Amino acid sequence: MTPEDNKYAKSHEYVHVEGEIGTIGITDYAQKELGDVVFVELPQVGTQLEAADELGSIESVKAVSELFAPVSGEVVEINETLAEKPELVNTDPYGDGWMIRVRLSDPTELDDLMNAEEYEEYCETESH
């Protein structure tokens, strides 16, 4: 199930907003497409990201994929646990497999992202 309280980017990242902080990761659809994740490269705390900037990369056994920022903001926290347990991206993408937290600089950007229902439809069309 795609969580209703997130917003979704076409590049398959989600952002979960609480107050001015957005938690970013990749979706369940994305982790399934990637397969076993073995290495996640994340930006440093303090990095200023613009929406659609490449924020890092994710290596699965079979391929590498870029990660893009769904929203603009300053990186305030990264998920250090992923260095030791990158498989959390597969097993719990919306929970313990989160990647970074940003302080949103322009919350109106959230309006450009998809809601859960729109994102599910988008994945349907992508897989055909």
Partner 1 sequence: MADAALKKTPLNEVERELGGKMVDFGGWELPVQYSGILEEHQAVREHAGLFDVSHMGELAVKGPDALPLLQRATCNDVAKLEDGRAQYNGLLYPTAGFVDDIWVGRRAENDYILVVNASNVDKDFAWIADLAKGLDVEVRNVSDDYVLLALQGPEAQRVLQTMTDADLPALKYYRFTPATTDGAAGMISRSGYTGEDGFEIFLPPADGPRVMRKLVGAGVKPCGLGARDTLRLEARMALYGNDIDQTTTPLEADLGTIVKLEKGEFMGRDVLQRERAEGPKRKLVGFEMVDRGIARHGYPVVDGTEEIGVVTSGTHSPTLKKPIGLAYLPLGKSAPGTEFMVLIRGKETRARVVPTPFYKRPKS
How many residues bind partner 1 (CB under 8 A)? The answer is: 13
Q: How far is the CB of 22 from partner 1 (least distance, A)?
A: 25
**Does 44 participate in binding partner 1 (rule CB under 8 A)?**
no
**Does 59 participate in binding partner 1 (rule CB under 8 A)?**
yes
Selection from 55, 50, 27, 53 nearest residue 104 by Cα: 50
Of positions 20, 39, 81, 115, contacts partner 1 by CB under 8 A: 39
**Does 128 participate in binding partner 1 (rule CB under 8 A)?**
yes
Between 41 and 74, name the residue whose CB sits nearer to partner 1: 41
Task: Choose the stretch contacting partner 1; rule: CB under 8 A; options: 18-26, 34-42, 95-103, 117-125.
Answer: 34-42
Residue ranges in contact with partner 1 by CB under 8 A: 35-36, 38-39, 41, 57, 59, 61-64, 127-128
